[in-house]
A and B are shown apart, each in its own frame.
Chain A
Amino acid sequence: MAELSFTEEELKEIEQLKAKFPTAKAATLQVLWVAQRKYGHVEPEVQNLVAETLDVPKSHVHGVASFYTQYYKEEKGKFVLDVCTCLSCQLCGGYDILHHLEEKLGIEAGETTDDGMFSIQSVECLGACGYAPMLQVTNGVYVNNLTKEKVDTLIDNLKNGKMPEFESMAMPELEKRNQAASE
């Protein structure tokens, strides 16, 4: 890979991010995002660039980047499908969804399709247990209450370049409570 570097503008942004935190180390997460936005991933070279820019140990940035599935430690497909297989989703069929996807796309979790369109990851709880099973598309929209049919539609739409819409999810219990309070 060619020498990596941040542009003047990016460096300015990084300075602003640093100013928000008491130490440069604390800005690691934010600066990793800047890097991932730029390169589409945070491969080791990119991690090292972040470490050098922030003047923190390379090992530290490596540890942080490896902790979060949201940072891509290698090049990924255009759409990264993070299928939650943590407890709630697992109980509601998260693995069925994952395996269905794997079969459909002909790849396993952690892999990317040959055409570079899709990557699948099996990830931990994304905080949407109420609408399990669920998945997230490229660190963005959640697709909730998954069924195999819903997954099929999602893939077709994505292939046509159509991202799923943000869904506002109802919280039945909360609504009941709110209603009771207002009465």
Chain B
Amino acid sequence: MPEVFIDGKRYEFEGKPMLLQFILDQGLEVPFFCYHPAMSIPANCRQCMVKVGTPVKDRETGEFEHDENGDRKIRWFPNPQTSCSTPLQDGMVVHTQETSEEVARAQKDNLEFILVNHPLDCPICDQAGECPLQIQTYKYGPEGSRFEVKKVHKPKRVELGPRVTMDAERCINCTRCVRFTEEISETNQLTIVQRGDDNYPQTAAGEEFDDPYSMNTVDICPVGALTSTDFRFKARVWEMNQTPSIDITNGKGCNVDLWTRDNEVLRITPRENDEVNDYWMPDAGREAYKLFNENRADRPSIKLDGDNQSNTSWNNAIETFAEVLDAHEADDILTVGSPHASVEENFAFNKFFNLLGSSNAKFTPDVIPGAGDDFLITDDQAPNTNGCRAINLDEADSNSLQSAVSGAKVVIILSDDLVGREVLSAADLNDSYTISFATNENDTTNVSDLVIPITCIAEHAASYVNVDGRIQRSYPAKETKYTNRRLNLEMSEGRLDRYGTNFDNWVSEENKVDCLPVWQFLNKLAERINLDFSYNHSRDVFADISEQFDMLSDISYERMDEENGVQLPIKQEEVKQA
């Protein structure tokens, strides 16, 4: 197998890897800016320089030539090479900054050049703390600069588009953002204008950067030149905790990170998963953080007189719920599951009412034909349509759900704004007693007689099956009134050495929503009506699911964690129209 020697150590390689990527794959480091594994290689930042040589071979015999010590003779490239664009060759010898003074010096001087016109405004820059330029300057850069002349000024606070704000002075012209619009989103909206030390990215005159994937450029910009207009100046990176999760705004299930501080989700960024979304996500998915913080169903509420809802206690909610169940036959009760809720929630919900004699819950997919593209935006507006199918819920279109509702005396809805998305009208629910389990207030909760507030994806561990049949799960990222990050071992606690101090990421106990996971509420209800139903954790719910459904029999949270989600043997059929 071909071999390469990096900093005196031998590695074997296959295929035709580029040197930089190969070095990174070994867990080693060489500083770089413009290279991005998902895009073409322009080699324009010049930061990734290393010293490279190839062994000298005797032309006749093809044998390696050796020096008097018996070592292979190496022909060094005359200058340092950009490792991002250097293909590996058999026998190649490489020195990085770790073993070559010359390379360390080249990298250091290159950084001095890159910083000639950089404003060095890290203290007020959003990127500080997650900035490749800042990090690599600390590690490999010069202490000072010999360029003590006035810096070139360029446009600042430019609204490149509705969601991206640019500070051209910070730009190092790596062209990652431009290549993103050319190669990944294919809108070609950006270009580099001007030249020399005047240049920066721009749209064509009269156009704006309204690419539905525009905010990915904020993530890949290796400096603070492109920032999220929404998130600007909201928080320093190190003040937030980062929790893996899933995008719930469409059916693709893009892997994301939720960034929280004081029990509020402040931003959502994509998390790499080659099988689903690579490094990217649609801008729309990032807006979802608002759903987790604002307009939440907080404390149960009940309709007492006429149409006025008022908050009530959990005890009262359970009592009311129990009375309603008591007063009706199983046949009079219609249960509606939800493609917007997780597999565990749907299963626990369905099982509870199955135990009471109801037939399987119905659900209505939330699909807008034509809304999707061939990339990461899907027609399916819900994260778990296939999950509802996997546990055999009863798929119903709008019409058949309407007629089912009209025949029912009690309608129990799991986390789905059926009125808001016009599957049902408010009038359809007039004649029945309507109970909604809901994360947020919406048109459906407004017309419900009893609203049970439940945890959202940011507050529980649960799994979702995307349009392609891949099951992936979330982790709790923020506390509710009844959870505690110390006791919930799945929660990221922030830095332990700061726990409980003024420097903790949680300095406020505010922003906790008064809600329960569906299964926990059902536990309490079961206790009240003497039903044999109890789940301590979504893991227990999932264990039951795996036992019951063949397709999920060898799936577990551990497997989903290890494999970054698991592909189920689901035919990748089009999600049918509701």
In contact, A59 and B194 (Cβ under 8 angstroms): no
> Which of A8-16, A62-70, A76-84, A167-175 lies at the interface?
A62-70
Q: How far is the CA of A44 from the CA of B181 in the complex (A)?
A: 21
In contact, B196 and A48 (Cβ under 8 angstroms): no
Query: Cβ of B207 < 8 Å from any Cβ of A?
Result: yes
- Known contacts: A67-B195, A124-B196. The answer to whether A59 contacts B206 by CB under 8 A is no
Nearest A residue to B209 via CB reads A59
In the complex, chain B residues 170-196 whose Cβ is within 8 Å of any chain A Cβ: 181, 188-196
Nearest B residue to A62 via CB reads B204
From B194, B196, B207, contact of A58 by CB (8 A): B207
Query: Cβ of B245 < 8 Å from any Cβ of A?
Result: no
Query: Cβ of B350 < 8 Å from any Cβ of A?
Result: no
- Known contacts: A47-B205, A48-B204. The answer to whether A60 contacts B191 by CB under 8 A is yes
Closest CB of chain A to B367's CB: distance in Å? 32
Nearest A residue to B196 via CB reads A124
In contact, B194 and A57 (Cβ under 8 angstroms): no
In contact, A57 and B204 (Cβ under 8 angstroms): yes
In contact, B206 and A44 (Cβ under 8 angstroms): yes
Size of A's binding interface in residues, CB under 8 A: 14
In contact, A62 and B202 (Cβ under 8 angstroms): yes
Query: Cβ of A61 < 8 Å from any Cβ of B?
Result: yes
From B189, B193, B207, contact of A66 by CB (8 A): B193
For A60, the chain B residues whose CB sits under 8 A away are: 188, 191
From B189, B195, B196, contact of A59 by CB (8 A): B189
Q: How far is the CA of A124 from the CA of B199 in the complex (A)?
A: 14
For A66, the chain B residues whose CB sits under 8 A away are: 193-195, 202
Q: How far is the CA of A44 from the CA of B207 in the complex (A)?
A: 11
In the complex, chain A residues 60-104 whose Cβ is within 8 Å of any chain B Cβ: 60-63, 66-67
In contact, B204 and A61 (Cβ under 8 angstroms): yes
Query: Cβ of B229 < 8 Å from any Cβ of A?
Result: no
Q: How far is the CA of A60 from the CA of B190 in the complex (A)?
A: 8
Q: How far is the CA of A135 from the CA of B207 in the complex (A)?
A: 35
Nearest B residue to A73 via CB reads B205
In contact, A44 and B205 (Cβ under 8 angstroms): yes
For B203, the chain A residues whose CB sits under 8 A away are: 59, 62
Convert A114-126 into 0s and 1s, putting 1 for each residue whose CB lies closer than 8 angstroms to a CB of B: 0000000000100
For B191, the chain A residues whose CB sits under 8 A away are: 57, 59-60, 62-63
- Known contacts: A57-B188, A60-B188. The answer to whether A51 contacts B204 by CB under 8 A is yes
From B193, B196, B206, B207, contact of A63 by CB (8 A): B193
In contact, B192 and A63 (Cβ under 8 angstroms): yes
Nearest A residue to B206 via CB reads A44
Q: How far is the CA of A67 from the CA of B190 in the complex (A)?
A: 14
For A59, the chain B residues whose CB sits under 8 A away are: 181, 188-191, 202-204, 207
Q: How far is the CA of A58 from the CA of B206 in the complex (A)?
A: 10
For A44, the chain B residues whose CB sits under 8 A away are: 204-206
Q: How far is the CA of A44 from the CA of B202 in the complex (A)?
A: 13
Closest CB of chain A to B198's CB: distance in Å? 9
For A51, the chain B residues whose CB sits under 8 A away are: 204
- Known contacts: A59-B189, A60-B188. The answer to whether A67 contacts B194 by CB under 8 A is yes
Which of A63, A67, A124 has the most chain B CB atoms inside 10 A of its CB?
A63
Q: How far is the CA of A92 from the CA of B237 in the complex (A)?
A: 50
In contact, B193 and A62 (Cβ under 8 angstroms): yes
Closest CB of chain B to A38's CB: distance in Å? 19
For A58, the chain B residues whose CB sits under 8 A away are: 204-205, 207
For B194, the chain A residues whose CB sits under 8 A away are: 66-67
For A47, the chain B residues whose CB sits under 8 A away are: 204-205
For B189, the chain A residues whose CB sits under 8 A away are: 57, 59
For B190, the chain A residues whose CB sits under 8 A away are: 59
Q: How far is the CA of A132 from the CA of B190 in the complex (A)?
A: 37
Nearest B residue to A64 via CB reads B191
Q: How far is the CA of A162 from the CA of B426 in the complex (A)?
A: 83
Q: How far is the CA of A100 from the CA of B189 in the complex (A)?
A: 41
In the complex, chain B residues 413-470 whose Cβ is within 8 Å of any chain A Cβ: none
Q: How far is the CA of A93 from the CA of B463 in the complex (A)?
A: 72
Q: How far is the CA of A49 from the CA of B469 in the complex (A)?
A: 46
For A48, the chain B residues whose CB sits under 8 A away are: 204-206
For B202, the chain A residues whose CB sits under 8 A away are: 59, 62-63, 66
Q: How far is the CA of A63 from the CA of B191 in the complex (A)?
A: 6
Q: Which 7 A-B pairs give the minimum distances between C-beta atoms?
A: A44-B205, A63-B191, A58-B204, A57-B188, A59-B191, A66-B193, A62-B204
Would you list 16 pairs from A and B whose C-beta atoms are within 8 A, ordered by A residue? A44-B206, A47-B205, A48-B206, A51-B204, A57-B191, A57-B204, A59-B202, A59-B207, A61-B204, A62-B203, A63-B191, A63-B192, A63-B202, A66-B195, A67-B193, A124-B196
Residues of B participating in the A interface, judged by any CB pair closer than 8 Å: 181, 188-196, 202-207
Residues of A participating in the B interface, judged by any CB pair closer than 8 Å: 44, 47-48, 51, 57-63, 66-67, 124
Given contacts A44-B204, A47-B205, 5 further A-B contacts (CB under 8 A): A44-B205, A58-B204, A59-B189, A62-B204, A67-B194
